[in-house]
Amino acid sequence: MRNECTNLNNSFIRFGGITLVKFGSFFITFLLLSPIVSFQPTQAEHVESASYIIEFTFPALLQSISDQSGKLVSNDFFLSTQSFPKIKQMLTNISLFQKDAITQILTIIDQEFTDQDMKQYQLLFNGVWLNHLSISAVKKIEQFSFVKRIEKDTKISISNQQVQSNSNTTIQADQKIDSTQVINDLSTNSGKNISIAFFDTGIDYNHPALSNVYQGGYDFVNDDLDPYDDQGHGTHVIGISSGQKTLNSTQQVKGIAPNASVYAFKVLDENGEGYTSWFLSAFERAMDPNQDGNLSDHFDIISISAGNPDGSISDMLSTAASQAVNAGITVIAAAGNNGPSMNTLSSPAIAEQVIAVGASIQHTRIAPYSSRGELARSTIKPDVIAPGHQITSTWPNNQYQTLSGTSMATPYVTGIVACLLEQNPLLTPSELQKILHNHANSLGYNATTEGYGLITTNKSFFLEPLKKVSIHSMQNINSEYMKINLSIPHIDTSINISITLFSAEQQFPQQIFQINKQTKTPYTAINLPIKQLNSGYYLLQINLTTQQSVSRLKHNIFLENDNQSLISYPHTISESTEFSCSINDYSLSTTPFFIFYVPLRTLQIKRGNTVTFNTPQIHLSRKEIRTAVLLIFIPQIPIRIEKHSIHVVNTDRN
């Protein structure tokens, strides 16, 4: 759809009034003919069937024990022996509800289902997967009051690009890392006692570099206990995170966390493709590995080098991932390989609580294929970027292969998180996410391109970030200042605050200004001067440091400033004269189009930052005024269109 809109806009600009006439004629013809064109469902539409996931209104287990914000009441809830009977009772209630709901559904659609045509979900969300549902059956099911939503079982694919190269980059976990008294050294950690579930094509558990780290798994493609990798992608990914050096191999590839406990969940087939339902089943199993109802043994990390490029922050895959994070599992996912266009992140990486990973090249620049976030969201995505280009790692049948993509960058970050958890197992997913944000180095790109920046193992890590630091509120005091209220609870030392504002509508942002302040209070207010700023998107970066910790916030903000017009143009012009228009906006990354139109006269289109138009002869009387339209079209993401009115008067009026 994005490409179709772009093509339409390009056609509009290229052919001017001719295209508008043709398109307008087509549109009017379509509207005139639409009453006589049959839009009734065809016979094929009724017969065609597909798989669907149905979510019920009755809360799932994790929703039942969460507060209104979606956070678990206590992460220790699962560990309490007193809570176990309560959990069992909740699961029983969910099962009874599902039994009744499914009975009503099957009755109204009059359709038989085998065990292979149905899957039930109870932990992350309350729902059921049904196979071979016709569109008419789906419409009937939607009418039930206990049905929250229905989503087609979407295809999910791997996020990688294979690259053959003589110049390979191997992953080494024992890079030298600088350390001080307050900084922890990752090189002494290897992910020991940390469990990682990889959602991928499986694993070649016979590979010498992986056989000792593999602890088990499940094949959701073939529904058995043997997640053997018949594609290669999963084996490659796991090697980056947790591969071990082998004595008999010439390829000395060592993962970031070679002593972590690896579990392989095969959710992608031999073609690297799977379905949302397989991923949801894997999330349920990762939440309760032995399926005994006691969720205290859930995995520490879930690593996903795949995604749905057409997904959203609220689709079922993102919802399941977010619920897993609420339960205490750190979820790390590939941003996707749909760059360099903006707003191309895949789900579940797009979810706020999931750590989204983009790919870098040679630690110096962003990979062009690495997916980008969007300006319209205040949450910065991707979270970080990591080495992902031409990475050599394990491959089935005792082989090694070189691949590129955000798939390769994701397990790199997974290994780092495993090492951090080994140092401090009490770190929560949100704290780990913040630690990564704090220790990423900017490569100079826009936040929607690089997130917080590049994360590597040759980086020192503060393990005690300032907790619960947040922007309490932002508001325009007047036309000159924006007030930012920072919340920094439970501080007992002086904090240095540095606030920097960047332009956000360029690939390489420009710094506008920086404000420094020191505080010892839990709430502090800072006034940003905005009087001279043009309307548009900006990146607000806040660094807070003490002697023992560091924390960093990034937010995309939109300023609408009416005091200073970006467009310079005459408000009144005479007929049969020349006049100029210009745009004064440093943040523009593309050249704008100016469109000038006087009713019943030829449409004029010019491109440039400063353009000149000729006002047509209209033969107005001395008192007559004609209103013309000036459109400024800025072809960037998001598209900007400004509309202004210009009064055309008689030549001799003045």
- Catalytic residue set: 200, 233, 407
* Pairing state between β 536-545 and 550-559: antiparallel
Contact 367, 396 (CB under 8 A): no
Distance, in Å, from the CA atom of 532 to the CA atom of 526, rounded to the nearest integer, reads: 17
Both tokens of residue 242? Answer: 């947790």
> How far is 526 from 164, CA to CA, in rounded Å?
52
Going through 457-535 in order, the beta strands assigned E by DSSP cover 470-476, 481-487, 495-503, 511-519, 523-529
Tell me if 351 sits within 8 A of 283, measured CB to CB: no
- The Cα–Cα gap between 452 and 179 comes to 22
Concatenated DSSP letters of 589-611: -S--EEEEE-TTS--EEEESSEE
- How many C-beta neighbours within 10 Å does residue 176 have? 9
Quote the radius of gyration of the chain (alpha carbons, Å): 29
- Return the SS3 of 155: strand
Sheet with 155-158: list strands edge to edge: 273-275, 155-158, 306-307
Rounded CA gap, 466 and 485, in Å?
16
Cα distances (angstroms) measured from residue 340 to each of 34, 344, 366, 372: 38, 8, 9, 7
Tell me 465's DSSP state.
P
Residue spans of alpha helices (H) in 270-403: 276-287, 316-326
Closest C-alpha to 539, from 514, 566, 564: 514
Place of tokens 């089935």: 396
Q: How far is CA 604 from CA 17, 196, 590, 632, 633, in A?
A: 8, 61, 20, 12, 13
Angstrom distances, CA of residue 608 to CA of 8, 10, 208, 584: 20, 16, 61, 11
Nearest one of 169, 568, 602 to 401, comparing CA atoms: 169
Report how far residue 515's alpha carbon sits from residue 532's, in angstroms, rounded to the nearest whole number: 16
Distance CA 353, CA 138 (A): 31
- Cα separation, 519 vs 541, whole angstroms: 17
Task: Record the tokens describing residue 460, joined without a space.
Answer: 């020192």
Cβ(55)–Cβ(316) below 8 Å: yes
CA dist., res. 180 & res. 198, Å (int): 33
Q: Give CA–CA dist 168/403, Å, rounded.
A: 9
- ∠466-472-478 over CA atoms, to 5°? 135
Bond from prior residue into 382 cis (ω within 30 degrees of 0): yes
Question: For the purposes of burial, counting CB atoms within 10 Å of the CB of 168, is it exposed (0-12), middle (13-18) or buried (19 or more)?
Answer: middle
